[in-house]
A and B are shown apart, each in its own frame.
Chain A
Amino acid sequence: MIDRRTFVTALAATAAIVAAVPARASEEPIRIGEMNSYTRLPAFTLPYRNGWELALEEVNAAGGVLDRQIEVISKDDGGEPGTAVTMANDLLAREKVSLIFGTLLSNVGLALADFAKQKQIPFIAAEPLTDTIAWSQGNAYTFRLRPGTYVQAAMLAEEAAKLPAKRWAVVAPNYEYGKSAVEAFKTLLSAKRPDVEWVGEQWPALFKIDAGATVQALARTNPDAIYNVTFGADLIKFVREGKLRGLFEGRQVASILGGEPDWIDPLKDEAPEGWIVTGYPWYALETPEHVKFREAYQKRFNDYPRLGSVVGYAAMKTIAAAITKAGSTEPKAITAALRGLTLDSPLGRITYRAADQQSTMGTFVGRLTVKDGMPRMVDWRYGDGAQYLPSEAEAAKMRPAE
């Protein structure tokens, strides 16, 4: 799709339009490196790419930053940390970029974070959910945009604590994200509700769930409520089998990311109603900044935005704001500018906290329902990341000494 050449062509076209208005884009463009798992997980990453492309076009149409256009060189990491490092070397040594952003998979994000530390170049980890990237393995050059596992689990645990349910079972994919999403939820819910009992656990291999057997095994523990971490095709299989076998009848379900259109929309009218989910109600969020974003996105791509689109868009806006604030394209200056940077995203104002370089972007929590044949969140509210993250002092303590 967008390789470097088509991108440059698109850029040239944009530049031509811009030239007609203020005619200042004479200098060399600012080069930015980007990377994501475009071939391995396209369902989430292609909407993400649309997001940053939209923001890039807006920034460049407005004259760019520091009177220069921005050029993005985009790579595919293929879902492999090793490939990601090769590509990052390419971006740095051959393409001479000032900054790298992107990544979805936690291990790819961690590999690049360490690369950024070694090469002293700013890296915006747009989408990885693992909190180690901000805390236990955080470093001075890595900034994380999306709210991590802890914040998502904290919002769900807050809602789950209000339920009468005492016996909880969990189902999660058997890898780091699944493990830490379960651990955070268990700790937070047990703290709020010491009477809660954890009666069962299922750990299907990622994208290889044996849904019928897993549903049966969960039902056997006879829980009052279930905490679900599966996503993608696993989630769809789990929901279908669970509904057929009556697993969800008379039981509450809390499902992390379950309201993100990226993962739930393939279920269409079979989406499980009544689940408590974190997600993104793009159809109902009517704040001026979001309406502006949604309309621009729909006009540009003839499609509705997914959560990935918001993250991609906000990542590119972050970069423009950071370079403007830094007044330079030097990696050191951009890194300094990113610390404590505040900007407006489609979800409201966000700040990259100086202590742990985690943005305060939040997420939405609500209940799932089906409307006009599509999954929709109702009774939702926005939880600002600032309210759910550990305090900056606590977060700083979790990070390794510089």
Chain B
Amino acid sequence: MSFYAVQFLTGLASASSLFLVASGLSIIFGVSRVVNFAHGSFYMLGAYIAYSLTLRLGGGAFGFWGAIGLAAVAVGLIGVLMEMALLRRLYRSPELFQLVATFGVVLVVQDLALATWGPDDLLGPRAPGLSGAVSILGHRVPEYDLALIVIGPVVLVILWLLLNRTRWGILVRAATQDPEMAGALGINQKWLLTGVFFLGSLLAGLGGALQLPREPANLLMDMGIIAEAFVVVVIGGMGSIGGAFLAAVVIGELQAFGILIFPEITLVLLFLVMAVVLVIRPWGLLGKPEAIIPKAAARDVGRPFRPLKAAWRWAGLGLLGLLVALPATAGDYALQVASEVLIFTLFAASLHFLMGIGGMISFGHAAYLGFGAYGSALAVHHLGAPMEAALIAAPLLAGMGGLVFGWFCVRLSGVYLAMLTLAFAQIAWSGVFQWYDFTGGDNGLIGIWPAPWAAGAAGYYYLTLMLTVAALWVLKRAVFSPFGFALRAGRDSRLRAEALGIDVRRVQWLAFALSGAAAGLAGGLYAFLKGSVFPTVMAIPVSVDGLVMVLLGGVHTVLGPLIGAVAFTGLKIGIAAETHFWRILLGGLILATVLAFPKGIAGFLKDKLMRPER
């Protein structure tokens, strides 16, 4: 019995540190609707800055706690810098576009942290006066854990008072609930948002700094925490601080007790919990149901898509001609890169079909790329299937994955839907990762090479070009078919669409399957291009890459994702081939691009070039 009590305390300590990070993310998201990937980077910076400050300020209690506080404030100011220099220029961009900018910040911070603090893990001092352990019920519990157990609720109370008992807090809540009305009442939202970013980033920095006695400052902290923080925010209910605390406690305790029964569960527990919570309570534990028509979505839908004018069709055909002629001039490497770019173009287009046409954001689209890749690889590995058959298996398996996941996802909307796609993707990923006998686990499946007729760089390029163009054509046909119109109707006005007799959920469900199948074909092609498949193909970074491609190109255009995929994939491969400092360069380029084209590249082109056709 005493063991369980102590294990409970351990879970509470983990919950406290998780809560600090998640509360900051929740506040930022609640008010600004920015999905802030850089939050994990701020957490990491908090730990690093606190480490450097403890060296300067000396080892006493004053030095230690002073360093923690100063680090938190410093990170808060970095958050302000990001908001003022970057995000402020992007609030009028399409929904989620700011995500691309924060992703650029993540890349830049990774290289800057490596350059500033070096590659080694940096172990900070223990907290003075709290460096030992006390005996509770015959077990030793670290004093610092007890301090964390106190700090979490204290921060919760302070935040509650700040948001409920101060004028600033009332304004923030007003802006959360109805930004337009708050603006109409003369509230200067600019500075309100800046203040929110200061507070949110400060909490991230505080969370990172407080980890110092438990964990060395290291370069993997940013990616390690960000997914967890999002999960806590979503389980708790978006924008609900109390919910975030409750969710952190649930996660912390499930983690602490889960490993006693099933130690391997650590990989996926978080996402299993989130999936279950979202299916049962679609808006999180303490969240409020979203308005039926989210204001942000209704605002930036833009003009309906129209088929391209004749001149543009000729331009498209010309481009296709150039692509067909490419092997005459390009070398093997260029053709392999071109094949990869084509594959990611199809991947981005499939994601865009869901996001742009269907209005359903997917944070876990890599799952379908992975299903396709594994569909092909498993067919080759276990059934000895030839390449041609394996390439048929890819979209089939991924399409089925889309049907299964989609069935649950279409019951939600907005960011909750997005997070459920992420949860499913992670569950699928961990299944592939742990099922050693069938999928090869994280050592993957190798020896997935194309048939002899397509083994050369040019042969495989033509195969990729043919299948990609065919699949893109099918997607385009779907957009302008009755099915596509029904889907767009459901996106723009669910109520009206349903009044017209459209079964919106069913249409959305089928969209999941079609989009999944298209991504799956891309996955199958990817497997044969690389000759091997690993679980990384369906991991979070690939989903993020897909989002960046679609958003960078422009979500409210048909060609946007294609342009975004070509730009992003091409740049990434091109830069990474030339320098080990590719992250800061790629990140910098992304930042420059979003500032130059705040509506996406295609959105910009559309405004500039197509205006006369209006």
Contact = CB atoms under 8 A, between A and B. Distances in A.
A369 B459 CA distance: 59
Contacts of A240: 126, 213-214
B224 A208 contact: yes
A57 interface: no
Interface in A287-301: none
Interface string A190-223: 0000000000011111011011111011001000
Interface in A220-279: 220, 232-233, 236-237, 240-241, 244-246, 265-268, 270
Interface stretch (B116-124, B319-327, B412-420): B116-124
Contacts of B579: 3-4
A25 to B, nearest CB: 25
A3 to B, nearest CB: 4
A80 B533 CA distance: 11
B123 to A, nearest CB: 5
A201 B261 CA distance: 10
Contacts of B13: 212
Interface in A98-130: 106-107, 110-111, 113-115, 118, 130
Interface string B127-142: 0000011000001111
A89 interface: yes
Contacts of A236: 121, 123, 215-216
B264 interface: yes
Interface string A143-176: 0000000000000000000000000000000111
Interface string B248-272: 0000000110011001101100000
Contacts of A18: none
A241 B142 contact: yes
Contacts of B140: 244-246
A29 B7 CA distance: 62
B6 interface: yes
Contact of A205 (B213, B267, B529): B267
A188 interface: no
A237 B215 contact: yes
Contact of B573 (A1, A45, A86, A237): A86
A214 B142 contact: no
A42 B443 contact: no
Contact of A110 (B114, B434, B443): B443
A83 interface: yes
A216 B534 contact: no
B582 interface: yes
B325 to A, nearest CB: 19
Interface string B189-219: 0000000000000000000000001111011
Contacts of B447: 114
Interface residues of B, number: 74
Contacts of B457: 93
Interface stretch (B74-82, B299-307, B331-339): B331-339
A216 B446 contact: no
Given A81-B534, A176-B443, A89 B218 contact: no
A106 B333 contact: no
Contact of A210 (B256, B264, B333, B337): B256
A265 B259 contact: no
Contacts of A241: 142, 214
Contact of B333 (A90, A110, A245): A90
A212 to B, nearest CB: 4
B566 to A, nearest CB: 16
Contacts of A85: 529-532
B216 A266 contact: yes
Contact of A93 (B121, B256, B264, B336): B336
B580 A107 contact: no
B444 A107 contact: yes
Nearest to B141: A245
Interface stretch (A71-79, A357-365, A391-399): A71-79
Number of contact residues on A: which range applies?
35 or more
Nearest to A112: B532
A106 B446 CA distance: 13
A45 B532 CA distance: 24
A380 to B, nearest CB: 23
A185 to B, nearest CB: 17
Given A211-B214, A213-B10, A244-B132, A76 B582 contact: yes
B372 interface: no
B214 to A, nearest CB: 6
A8 interface: no
Contact of B580 (A2, A179, A214): A2
A204 B581 contact: no
A161 B441 CA distance: 31
B613 interface: no
Most buried by A among B6, B123, B582: B123
A43 interface: yes
B340 A86 contact: yes
Nearest to B578: A3
Contact of A233 (B213, B215, B255): B215
Given A130-B443, A210-B255, A265-B120, A80 B219 contact: no
B396 to A, nearest CB: 22
Nearest to A200: B263
B119 A46 contact: yes
Contact of B443 (A43, A132, A203, A270): A132
A205 B266 contact: yes
Contacts of A111: 444, 446, 530-532, 534
Interface string B559-603: 000000000000001001111111100000000000000000000
Contact of A232 (B121, B255, B576): B121
Contacts of B532: 81, 85, 110-111, 114-115
B3 interface: yes
A281 to B, nearest CB: 19
A267 B123 contact: yes
Given A76-B580, A246-B133, A175 B530 contact: no
A282 interface: no
Interface in A1-53: 1-4, 38-39, 42-43, 45-46
B126 to A, nearest CB: 8
Interface string B143-168: 00100000000000000000000000
Given A115-B531, A137-B446, A207 B220 contact: yes
A107 B267 contact: no
B119 A203 contact: no
Contacts of B221: 233
B576 A42 contact: no
Contact of A213 (B7, B126, B141, B582): B7
Contacts of A245: 133, 139-142
A82 interface: yes
Contacts of A76: 576, 580, 582
B401 interface: no
Report, nearest first, the 5 A-B pairs whose CB atoms are least far apart: A42-B119, A93-B333, A114-B446, A93-B332, A3-B579
23 contacts: A76-B576, A85-B532, A107-B534, A111-B446, A115-B532, A130-B443, A203-B266, A205-B266, A212-B14, A220-B260, A233-B215, A236-B215, A237-B214, A237-B215, A237-B216, A240-B214, A244-B133, A245-B133, A245-B141, A266-B120, A266-B216, A267-B123, A270-B123
Interface of B: 3, 6-7, 10-11, 13-14, 110-111, 114, 119-123, 126, 132-133, 139-142, 145, 213-216, 218-221, 224, 255-256, 259-260, 263-264, 266-267, 331-333, 336-337, 340, 433-434, 436, 441-444, 446-447, 449, 457, 526, 529-532, 534, 536-537, 573, 576-583
